[in-house]
Amino acid sequence: MDPLALTLIELGAVVFCLGLLARLAGRIGMSPIPFYLVGGLAFGAGGFVNLDGMHEFAHLSGEIGVILLLLMLGLEYTAAELVNGLRRSWQAGVLDLVLNFAPGAGIALLLGWGVVGAIVMGGVTYISSSGIAAKVITDLGRIGNRETPVVLAILVFEDLTMAIYLPILTAILAGVGFLGGLQTVGIALAVVTLVLVVALKHGHRVSQAVHSENSEVFLLNVLGAALLVAGIASAMQVSAAVGAFMLGIAISGATAHTATRILEPLRDLFAALFFVAFGLNTDPSGIPPVLGWALLLAVLTAATKMLTGIWAAKRAGIAVPGRFRAGAALIARGEFSIVIAGLAVTSGAVPADLAALATAYVLLMAITGPLAARFVEPVVKAFRKSSRKPTPAEPRTSVEA
């Protein structure tokens, strides 16, 4: 068969199946990320059907998906919100980093993946899924809850940490020496600082540069600017994803809202292809040997995220149910974890088993997170009710008498 025809047939079948999977996920109230990963595993190397024709397109689509994911994440924040969130949440953010980076790094060292593998897996287990957390908070009607600003502040700190972590990771994976690594980190810090200053003082000008009343022109301007900035950032070894994130921060006001509305369908399409592309490059036969480690990591990091949320909410003076709601909202891992694992596996600097472990881990956490957020409050209330001692004002039953 003609290669172009084969690619179109395979791509059409994959996109159509993704639509069915997204509909299924919506009906059962789950994030579609686990379904996309499973779909990629089923049709990749070692799966039921190997879709050789679309590998090249899937790789490029995955890169665009990462750029759009980070661009849209940046559009959700203004520079002022980032700075204020950092001031409010830096202590909880540091605790979050220490508690959740350590399990992944420790498991990688135990498995003999070295320092590079430890840095990669530490990032995989550290970062919560902002997308899943935001969706869960919205679906459960908790946007106005007192603990929600605490959760969002921690997520903001994590996103800023990623803006520093990703360039460092990129340099390490590229085998850059110590001096080169310092240069990369310095450039990353300078870029982040510069963008925040520009966004604070001249964000309206950046918004004017891409804004247009014509939706077609607006889409082309924003998408072109995102790809251009991401490419320049990548050339400077700062990470294309971070470049897109910082551009999103610089766009503000009504322009940011319009950009979010126009780009959202495109983001969803390419993000879905990104998760599928990661699954296509992961051999499912490698998952059973690391499933036990994935389960151990899931238990450990669910507990550490709960501790982070509980501690941060307690400092904010929030009652016990709200503390547990905050912790549960942070449990899910998703897009960022796969981005980190994808960078590492593509570089060839880590063993292929890392992709299998990251896939299994994200599958578990993307499912566990929303379930924990939904059921943690009833469980806490039931436990407190059962453990509460009766007061003199409360009537005693005949059994108690």
Task: For 339-366, write each residue's pLDDT tens digit.
Answer: 898 888 888 888 888 989 999 999 899 8
Q: What is the pLDDT of residue 399?
A: 42
Residue 363 lies in a domain: yes
The listed range with the strongest mean pLDDT (5-19, 170-184, 284-298) is 284-298
Q: What is the pLDDT of residue 391?
A: 52
Burial of 151 (0-12, 13-18, 19+ CB in 10 A): buried
More confident residue, 335 or 104: 104
Residue 39 lies in a domain: no
Q: What is the pLDDT of residue 397?
A: 46
Residue 18 lies in a domain: no
Cβ atoms of 158 and 183 closer than 8 Å: no
pTM attached to this predicted model:
0.77
Residue 50 lies in a domain: no
Least confident of 205-209, 232-236, 274-278: 232-236
Residue 7 lies in a domain: no
Q: What is the pLDDT of residue 52?
A: 65
Distance between CA 208 and CA 211 in Å, rounded? Answer: 5
Task: For 135-179, write each residue's pLDDT tens digit.
Answer: 788 778 887 888 888 888 898 888 778 877 887 888 788 776 556
Q: Is 192's pLDDT higher than 90?
A: no
Residue 319 lies in a domain: yes
Predicted confidence band of residue 271 (pLDDT cuts 50, 70, 90) = confident
Least confident of 156-165, 218-227, 291-300: 156-165
Task: For 281-290, write each residue's pLDDT tens digit.
Answer: 777 888 899 9
Least confident of 2-6, 84-88, 142-146: 84-88
Q: What is the pLDDT of residue 285?
A: 83
Closest CA to 161 of 188, 139, 179: 188
Cβ atoms of 273 and 96 closer than 8 Å: no
Q: Is 392's pLDDT higher than 60?
A: no
Residue 111 lies in a domain: yes
Residue 344 lies in a domain: yes
Q: Which two tokens stand for residue 125?
A: 């287990």
Query: ∠ CA(263), CA(274), CA(288), 5° rounding?
Result: 150
Q: Is 398's pLDDT higher than 80?
A: no
CATH number of the domain that residue 246 is part of: 1.20.1530.20
Total domains, the chain:
1
More confident residue, 67 or 134: 67
Q: Residue 210 sits in which domain range? A: 58-376
Scan for tokens 């220490």, then name that residue.
98
